[in-house]
Amino acid sequence: MTKDIFEKEKTNLTPETGFDLVGIDYFADTGNQLYLIEHFEIYQDALIAKKKRKDPNEYFILYKGVGGEFFCR
């Protein structure tokens, strides 16, 4: 069930256009563990911002594909 809630959070934070850099708060209540850091129009800018973080593995980029599918990198 926790995985389903996490997936719902990702879906809710995915922008219609552009790319969102998102962080994970492991100590937050279930359903509120993801938080928006910054929105970018260009993927490369989001990737650079992620790599500049102290631990890039605790952040990911959310975006929608051409067909409306959700992606997380």
Distance CA 2, CA 69 (A): 21
What's the chain's Rg over C-alpha atoms? 12
pLDDT of residue 56: 86
Q: Which one, of 51, 11, 50, lies nearest residue 31 by Cα?
A: 11
Domain ranges of the chain: 2-72
pLDDT of residue 1: 37
Q: How confident is the model at residue 38 (pLDDT cuts 50, 70, 90)?
A: very high
User: pTM of the full predicted structure?
Assistant: 0.86
